[in-house]
Chains A and B, each alone.
Chain A
Amino acid sequence: MDYSQFLVMHREIALLAVFLVVFLYDIFMPKRALGATSWVAVGAFALFTAYSFLMPGTNETAFAGMYVSSGACAAIKNILNVGVLIVLIQATKWADSDLQIMRRGEFYELLLITLFGMYLMISGRHFLIFLIGLETASLPLAAMVAFDKQRYESHEAAVKYMLTAVFSSAIFMMGLSFVYGLTGTLYFSGIADKLSEASPLLICALAFVIAGIGFKLSLVPFHLWTADVYQGAPTSVTAYFSVISKGAAAFAFMVVLAQCFGAFYADVWEWMLYALIILTITVGNIFAIRQKNMKRFLAFSSISQAGYIMLGVEADSAVGLTALMFYVLVYIFSNLAAFGVIGAIENKTGKVEMTDYNGLSRTNPWLAFAMMLAMFSLAGIPPFAGFFSKFFIFTGCLSQGSVAIYILVLIALINTIISLYYYLLVVKAMYISPEEPQIANFRSACPERIGLWICVLGIIALGIVSFFYDSIYTAASTAGIFASL
């Protein structure tokens, strides 16, 4: 065996190295040095992020085509790294709190391991690798959800997540076994070659595969766990769930659909997805309207946002892929800004209800400002980044050109109006509501502020500077537009 193949996976290996650094530091360092664990994790991950950005995304395959590395894979990994870095920075305050201080090492280790799993999902081109990645990315999350040991909701959420995850894995694997039975291979390219015509079994398999990945993306009707878990989990974990896990799954979803089922089945899965997108966006919105708890509110908002991300998959083209990645990037900044504010306020006062935010602009103008930008960006108000990400994803989808797609985009647009309502409810509470402010003025911790600044800059810069979109487009479209995802 040619061991130099491992070098193709240098990003994964470097990530494991970061994991090992944190792990060994946590275990072997004397107790007085452990205060710096959080910053060791952040520092090591920042170095890794820089490394990942500096390494070019070449087109290579390893292990007989089970694993590929390409410009698009490198780009989505870099995007996720930025998000993880922000999550890590924002989480330090929470991880260093008295309740978590004994086990914060585990938090970082589990988080890095799930990221490793996501990397495998992104780069795997064989369903075995893909499945390992999917499981690695799912199961440790259950432990992370249960991190607030003393909170009852945290346990409940973990159990709910665990059970649903196991169930969805079972469905997913059932779908895979159908595929394997029909084609005799688990290679993506091999499956694509063997598939010739629609059969009931294959449609079943396709539906189960979509359900399995749809669980990670929390597409309706596979989303029911989302709200409970988001509400129950610690805010940092929720933030991680809502952006990173979703971003990786969206990309992997596109790879699976386009590469395995693209050639013969595009019109079948596009219709399946069509229905799921409409359901997801609409149901997510309808539930979001009623929410009073900020985390639960963002859970439903993120369900609806996942529907928009799926529009990029629906486009089934390099432009769609670019729009999808750009959407994920923007979504990372916007959602992490929102969670950053929620986390800062929760850490200080323990308040997470929307009514607690009444009059926030008068007591904490900067936090309210960051939250407002996040809400504007999520709602897609120009000139913030969210507007452009929605714009690109709509145009990407429209370039497909059929009447059905126009109807789909129209429904998505109507839903944007509904979503505007509930995003503005938050802004209204913070800026217009005449009631007495619930939260006294406080100075948030330094890492929280750094995280928020990065997010705010991202929201503004991505809207104005075209460089990011252009470089993603270059990465997504180099070397054979769609074949080498």
Chain B
Amino acid sequence: MSPVIPLLILVIPLAMFLFLGLCGHKMSHRWAGILGTTGMGVTMVLAYITAFTYFFSGDPSFIDADTHTRLQAILFNQDWLNFYDKLVIRLGFLLDPIAALLLVVITTISFMVHLYSNGYMRDHHGVWEKGFQRFYAFLSLFSFSMLGLVVATNIFQMYIFWELVGASSYLLIGFYYTKPSAVSASKKAFIVTRFADLGFLIGILILSYYTGSFDFTDFTSAPVGGPDSTVYRIDPATPSHILSVFQNSAAPIFMGGSVLTWALVLIFMGGMGKSAMMPLHIWLPDAMEGPTPVSALIHAATMVVAGVYLVARLFPLYLMEPVALDIVVVVGAITALYAAIVACTQIDIKRVLAFSTISQIAFMMVSLGVARPEFHEGLGYMAGMFHLFTHAMFKALLFLCAGALIHAIGSNDYTAMHGLRKYMPVTHITFLVGCLAIAGIIPFAGFFSKDEILTATGEYSTFWYIWMSAVAGLTAFYMFRLYYLIFWWKEHKVPEGHHTPHDQPWTMTLPLVILAAISCVAGFVPMGNLVTWNGVEEVTNPNFFTNLGNLNWGVASVSLAVAIVAIVIATIMYRKENPLPAKMKAALPHLWEWAHHRFYWDELYQFITHKIIFGCICKPIAWFDRHIVDGTMNGMAYVTNKISYAIRGFQSGRIQLYVLWYLIGAVVLAAVTMICVLC
């Protein structure tokens, strides 16, 4: 495959960013929106072509037809910073199953959000939001960064784009920069993820220090057909070689764990920050201060799964250190339960969705963590990627529906909504589809992926299987709670002087309908054929009903039953106005209080940062900085100034003195050297 199309996938969003950023304010709002949307549409088509070529063309650089193995192809790889032969930072384009999958997900959601924002970013009277062009420029920057991240050929490129993604997320969360809460949310998101990235960077440095390489292919794969080949195959021999490099190094053990485990856990820490795993999850709920399309794109579908993607990218290496994977499982499972409980008590609909996102990403993490080649050929890996795909679709749908509701009502609280089903039928139906999908009701998308995850977890350990099933039940419960509280509960009363809420313009409706349609059928994508941890197809010759046929009905019926019971409970409690929820709240006051305040994590961080870090560490350092460091600097400035004043006569303007100094200089130079060398 020629590198032109892949290159364009990256260049078009970048060009859009530069163009809209530099010249956008001179364009009309409408055309800026159309331009941004068209650019993303073209990118989407190119990404589809690339993914389609990768999966279905049968090109020998993409698939080994004899062994049914999908390969990794490096389409281009340009040296960027050349320190010396081994230490080269490259920028390139790696195409493999997960990269192709993510290309499709990112461009699809991004296009939907671009389209949707044309309607969302203006009020009911058609007045455009201030900074509309800037918004589109930032969206393009984000898309560029995210695409660059998923196609990275080496971990350093990934890190660069990782930070770019963080920066564009910062810009978009703080889009309403006159609103103090948005500003502090953007700062919070940036600082927390940057803190996590510190771990990521240290992990990268450890890994590359020992292995002498940044390339993913050097960590996980072996070249196919000669060392100069640009086609690679996942090969367990390579990571086990790296394991032996670590074990044979001078210091293989550090603080009770092997160095490789430390490196992998530190890299996972970067993923925890971006993917909002506990205890680094605190930024994501606040990030909902950004415009809702941004939440749909960045904080539901794409950026927050970067952590999952990172673990998947290095998965063969993680397999070498099962301890690291066990840590992934524990972190994921605890986060999943925590977020699901908190989601049951939130009032702001975007916060409910945010916690639901945290919980669902934790599902993917657990799924990767439990994947082992000996269980169903690494089913968990496939399931995690499958869930990433389906979740991106239905969670973006839910967020865009939430955006439509907020757009219509002007508030984030469900208390201001209630009973909207008659006024906004399209939003109602699409939201319901999203809820059914996330709850895992057959045949919607979430059912299949969640079922695979639970199957894989069951193979790994019964305890975590029960745990995760309970979380799945909670998911169904809080989603339907939200659904009923928005669309049912009691009749909507229109305040005087307001018109009735209604469905939105077509630019907003169309993405909802498309995403709802995808959420209905995405579950039938034969992911086992496309994405596996080592590229070997689990199922060959798939058809539309492959997933249905391969279901483990034991697990599936249990999870279906759990979901249905949860939905029934939610229906009883919230369909009509009734005192049951208040009774529940009164019966478990402490649990409700704790969950409502998100288990006081923010307060804990506040305490740690303000009282302990600021008080005990920062104050002495500040004193040191102010008096010692600044003192030295001021002293240096003072001395420099004095010297400068003292020697100004040196530059007298008299040519005789110039020549004299010249001569003195030459002679002194010679004389001093002579004394030093000869004596």
Contacts and interface: CB of A to CB of B under 8 A. Distances in A.
Contacts of B636: 414, 418
Contact of A290 (B79, B644, B663): B644
A163 B648 contact: no
A275 B669 contact: yes
Nearest to A174: B666
Interface stretch (B5-13, B411-419, B670-678): B670-678
A203 B661 contact: no
B599 to A, nearest CB: 41
A395 B84 CA distance: 11
Interface in B635-666: 636-637, 640-641, 643-645, 647-648, 650-651, 653, 655, 657-659, 661-666
A268 B669 contact: no
Interface stretch (A50-58, A217-225, A247-255, A400-408): A217-225
Contacts of A163: 655, 659
Contacts of B678: 198, 200, 203
B81 interface: yes
A436 B521 CA distance: 66
Given A198-B678, A204-B670, A470-B82, A211 B662 contact: yes
Interface residues of B, number: 36
Contacts of B81: 466
Interface in A429-472: 466, 469-470
B58 to A, nearest CB: 36
Given A163-B655, A203-B677, A287-B651, A221 B662 contact: yes
A211 B82 contact: no
B643 to A, nearest CB: 6
A418 B640 contact: yes
Given A160-B658, A164-B659, A290-B644, A466 B670 contact: no
B80 interface: yes
Contact of A272 (B83, B651, B659, B669): B669
Given A203-B677, A204-B670, A289-B640, A228 B653 contact: yes
Interface in A223-279: 224-225, 227-228, 268, 271-272, 275-276
A290 B648 contact: yes
B676 A271 contact: yes
Given A200-B674, A268-B677, A171 B666 contact: yes
B658 A224 contact: yes
Contacts of B644: 286-287, 289-290
B144 to A, nearest CB: 15
Contacts of B658: 160, 164, 224-225
A289 B651 CA distance: 14
A339 B648 CA distance: 25
A473 interface: yes
A210 B662 CA distance: 12
Contacts of A414: 636
B98 to A, nearest CB: 28
B164 to A, nearest CB: 12
B82 A473 contact: yes
Contacts of B662: 164, 167-168, 171, 211, 215, 221-222, 224
Contact of A268 (B79, B653, B673): B673
B661 A224 contact: yes
A253 to B, nearest CB: 15
Contacts of B653: 228
B651 A224 contact: yes
B651 A227 contact: yes
A207 interface: yes
B161 to A, nearest CB: 15
Given A221-B665, A286-B643, A290-B645, 6 more contacts: A171-B666, A200-B678, A204-B674, A220-B665, A289-B644, A470-B82
Interface of A: 159-160, 163-164, 167-168, 171, 198, 200, 203-204, 206-208, 210-211, 215, 220-222, 224-225, 227-228, 268, 271-272, 275-276, 283, 285-287, 289-290, 395, 414, 418, 421, 466, 469-470, 473
28 contacts: A159-B655, A160-B655, A163-B655, A164-B655, A164-B659, A167-B659, A203-B670, A207-B666, A208-B670, A211-B662, A211-B666, A215-B662, A220-B665, A224-B661, A227-B651, A228-B653, A272-B673, A275-B669, A275-B672, A276-B669, A287-B644, A289-B641, A289-B644, A414-B636, A466-B80, A466-B82, A470-B82, A473-B82
